[in-house]
Every structure is written in structure tokens, then in C-alpha cells.
Amino acid sequence: MLHHIAIVGSGPSGLFCADALLRQRPDLKIDVFDRLPTPYGLIRCGVAPDHQGTKAVTRQFDRLFGGGSLRFIGNVTVGTDLPLARVAEHYDAIVLALGAHADRPLGIPGENLPGRYGSMAFVGWYNGHPDFHALDPLLDRSGVAVIGMGNVAVDIVRVLGKTPAEMATSDICSHAAAKISGAPLTDLYMIGRRGPVEASFTSAELAELGRLDRVRPVVNRTDLPDAIPSGLDPADARVKEKNLQILHEFASRSDDKPVRLHFLFHTVPEAVLGNGRVEGLKLKGQDAPLTVGTVISAIGYRTATIGDLPPADERGVIANTDGLVAPGLYVVGWAKRGPSGTIPTNRTEAKSVADRILADFADDTAPAKSGNAALDAWLRQQGLVAIDWAGWKRIEAAEIAAARQGSPREKLILWEDLRRIGATP
């Protein structure tokens, strides 16, 4: 009998799955575990701090947690602190909603030089992820290269390019805002190994780069075809066509602004150069390297294997059939399909996995497992300090109280602060 469900990961895929389950079975008791003391995963630490509209989906999740059937158990890493095998003893079904939390390596010489960062670390730094608060990236030269032409690369160049006034209503961490506004930036480079049609950014995100106060997009007209090739999937074709239109408009601009954002297509990075730190980026087929002091790779994420959780493949995917990993064990989100799609993609997909769980258990007659009570006792025995919803609300209140004017919050960035405030009523 299906009664207690554990969801591992409180990002959008896990919480959309909880929502879909509870809409159909309000009697279920669902516990959502997270390694961080704070909920929302990618929405809090991945979505750009100036895209507050995208983050508003958390209000829907807040209502869910307020409903009495969903618990938050933060600061507990399933797989290591709490082995999956133990979770399986207490819950009838488990859903892995792990996201993708590791940077993919570039695999070129020099990538370990100070000044080269992966997007997970760099975005985590400005977004208040406690693992990355101390990154203190080198941003002391006029040139910064961002490798990749996806929406994460777009987020990064936009956050670097915006003025403090443009970031005023964001929740970028103050330490990052100060460092970025003090950086002597004049040239940002977005580097795509393929052409403008193959770039994976979407049109609204691309267009935003043309509306920044101090940034002028620089696109070489000769890099742009007049039309997209035939035979593309219609939905994809619409995005590519719009992208091309926007890029043509960028190429026609001749205004001058203090920061130039160069779109370099068909450009393959060969080596990060520098003596003790990043000083340049060697590009395939070009003699003169780009003069940059920082290189950020935004080339996609993968799902690292944690403790006794099932391993992920090269793309970060845990082997599954339509979300089923093994009897009673399911996967949703990026760990199910790889790091692609937008937040609403997870809503649809999580609903289909929720439907599958309910169908799989429709005829199940085994007695329901014990769920949270027995597990809570075990966590206490291990000395693990779980942070519950009330603990998160204390963290949130402290962040709102510390917000600078115009900003929704000043995130707590230290593990010890998050744990102390989260664990102390």
C-alpha cells in the first residue's frame, strides 16, 4: 500500500512531482530531503538573480509545504548521511530528484589555472550557494570569456554586463555584486563551437542581451546565414528563426557602449593560457589568443554519483525506463533526462512520473512502511541535525530582514549560519 514517499531533492522536479502526487492522493505523506539547509534547488541557486519572475514558482511550493502532507528535511545528504538503503526501509516509494550538480570538465590544457571556473561554481558564487561563497573569482582584467552558447552562458554574461542599477531588484549576493561592479570589464566573449543556428540559447534570453544599459552585442554579419536550414523540427525552427532575426539586428548595430559582448561562432577553445593564472584563451586556428583574465565554462552539467545512490552516465542520467529505476525507485528532472529544458518542462515530466508511481502501486497490497517517525528517530541517533520547514522559514526571515533596499533578500552564504539559524528555534 502506497502511503509514505521520500523525494530526494527539493528543486523544481522533486516539488512538481510532490504536487502531482498530492493532487491525486492527498492522503499521502511525503518527505522531501535536501543536502542544503534551504529548499528549491536550482530555483534558489541556479536561476539568475535578476530573473525574479522565474523564481516566483516557489510560492506554489510554499503552499504545498503549508498543507501538512509534505515535510522538508534539509541538511541531510541521502546516499551518505542517510543511505538510500535505509530510506527504502521506511518509505514505500522513493523519487530521486537530484538535478545535476557538477560541472563538466572542458578537457583542455590550462583549465585548472586560477581564473578558470565552471558555471556551477560561478553561478553558485553570485547566487549564494554555500559551497561556493569563497570562490572569490578573479575579475580584475578587462576581458572575460564564457565558453558555451546555452542559456547559462547568457545568464552569466548578462549578470556580468548589467549595471548595479539594473541589478538593484535582484537577489544577487552583495559580495558578488560588489566584485562585479568593481571589475574593469570592457570585453565579454561568448564562445560557441558551432554556428548561430546550433546555439542552444532561447530567443527571449538572447533578446535581453540587446537591452542592457552598458553592453553592446557585437556580431559579425558574415557569421550569419540569411535563413535557417530546412527540415528542422517546427518548434525548434521557430526558436532558431527568431534567434537569427535577433542576431541580424545585433549585427546591424553601430552604437557604442562601454562593454562589448562579442559572439564568437565556430570557435573552439584549445588551451587556457597563463603563468600562474588565466591570461588568455588559445582558439583553434587562430594565432593570436584572446586576452582575458577569466574563463568561465558554461558547457552543461552532470549528476555526480553520491554514496549508495545509483550511478549516473556521462550525460548525468540515472538509467531508467520512463522514470522507473528499480521497483519502488524513480527518477525525475535532470537526473532522468540530462540537463535540458526549462522549469515548466519539469512540471509536465514530473506529472507523468507521479502518474506512473500511482499506477505501479494501484494494486499493491503490501502493508505500508513506517515513514517518517522511525526515520526521525534514526536521524537523531546518528546526531544528524535535520532542518525542517520552520527552520527554513527562520532562514528566510533572516534573509529578508538583511535585504538591501529594493532587493527581496540577502542570502545567507555560510553553512554555519544556515545551520545555526535553521536548527535553532
Contacting positions for ligand NAP (CB under 6 A): 106, 147-153, 155, 192-194, 198-200, 205, 298-300, 339-342
- Tell me which residue of 227, 261, 253, 260 sits closest to 242, measured CA to CA: 227
Residue 13 or 75 with smaller CB distance to ligand NAP: 13
| Residue 64 near residue 32, CB atoms below 8 Å | no
R_g (Cα) of the chain, nearest Å: 23
Minimal distance in Å, beta carbon 17 to ligand NAP? Answer: 18
Scanning 163-286, the segments in alpha helix (DSSP H) are 174-181, 203-208, 234-251
Q: Provide the sign of the torsion angle of the four alpha carbons 27, 32, 38, 43, taken in this order.
A: negative
Residues 6+ apart with CB under 8 A from 401: none
C-alpha cell at position 174: 552583495
Grid cell of 377 as nine digits: 528517530
Least distance (Å) between residue 154 CB and ligand NAP: 7
DSSP 286: -
Report in angstroms how near the CB of residue 116 gets to ligand NAP at its nearest: 13
Q: Which triple of cell numbers denotes residue 382?
A: 546518528
Residue placing its CB nearer to ligand NAP in the complex, 83 or 341: 341
For residue 12, the minimal CB distance to ligand NAP (Å) is 11
322 in the Ramachandran plot: left (φ > 0), alpha (ψ -120 to 50) or beta?
left
75 or 303: whose CB is closer to ligand NAP?
Answer: 303
Q: Kindly state the smallest distance separating residue 300's Cβ from ligand NAP, in Å.
A: 4
| Count of positions (residues) in the chain | 425
Q: Is 305 exposed, middle or buried (0-12, 13-18, 19+ CB in 10 A)?
A: middle
Nearest-approach distance from CB 152 to ligand NAP, in angstroms: 3
What's the CA gap between 382 and 391, in Å, rounded?
Answer: 19
Report the residue number, 7 or 156, with the smaller CB distance to ligand NAP. Answer: 156
Please say which residue, 3 or 282, places its beta carbon nearer to ligand NAP.
282
Q: Which of 234, 293, 285 is nearest to 264 (CA)?
A: 285
Work out how close the CB of 334 gets to ligand NAP at its nearest, in angstroms, rounded to a whole number.
8
Pick between residue 62 and residue 270 the one whose CB is nearest to ligand NAP.
270
Q: Which three cell numbers stand for residue 399?
A: 534573509
Of 152 and 278, CB closest to ligand NAP: 152
Q: Which residue is nearest to ligand NAP (CB)?
A: 150
Of residues 7 and 123, the one with the C-beta less far from ligand NAP: 123
CA quadruple 248, 254, 258, 259: dihedral, nearest 10: 20
Minimum distance of ligand NAP from residue 147's CB (angstroms): 5
Q: Which is nearer to ligand NAP, 52 or 69 (CB)?
A: 52
Strand partners, 295: 116, 145
Cell of 300: 552543461
In the complex, minimum distance from the CB of residue 285 to ligand NAP, in angstroms, rounded to a whole number: 15
Give the separation between CA 111 and CA 103, rounded to whole angstroms.
12
